[in-house]
């Protein structure tokens, strides 16, 4: 039934303008804003045609789990570029059993 559906994920933020700048300007993703007033929302377009729905929520609490994963060819170059753009990252190193896989967390 849902096997052919174009599923997407979504998450809330407490500042939609800040989220638009972070995902659009800092990370360089395509971001589309729709709606007005309390119905404003963002669609963040990811590689491969996927997209993520981002919506404002007054009682937003930052997630304690991974929201998005971005595979990159060169993790060190990606980290250096994100840090150059002002993103603070916490390094967790490799994940056991997954050589070449590293985890980074953006600190708020």
Per-residue pLDDT of the chain (108 residues; tens, 9 = 90+): 667 777 888 999 999 999 999 999 999 999 999 999 888 999 999 988 889 999 999 898 887 776 777 888 888 888 888 889 888 877 665 556 555 555 555 654
- Give dist(CA 94, CA 85) in Å, integer: 24
Rounded to two decimals, the pTM is: 0.76
Residues contacting residue 18 through CB under 8 Å, at least 6 positions apart: none
Q: Do the beta carbons of residue 43 and residue 51 sit within 8 Å?
A: yes
* Listed residue (65, 68, 41) closest to 55, CA to CA: 41
């Amino acid at each position: 039934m849902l096997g052919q559906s174009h599923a997407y994920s979504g998450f809330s933020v407490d500042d939609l303008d800040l989220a638009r700048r972070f995902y659009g300007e800092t990370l360089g993703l395509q971001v589309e804003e729709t709606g007005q007033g309390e119905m404003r929302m963002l669609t963040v377009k990811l590689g491969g045609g996927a997209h993520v729905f981002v919506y404002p929520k007054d009682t937003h609490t930052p997630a304690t789990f991974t929201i998005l994963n971005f595979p990159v060819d060169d993790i060190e170059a990606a980290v250096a570029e994100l840090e150059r753009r002002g993103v603070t990252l916490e390094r967790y190193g490799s994940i056991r059993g997954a050589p070449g896989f590293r985890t980074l967390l953006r600190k708020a």
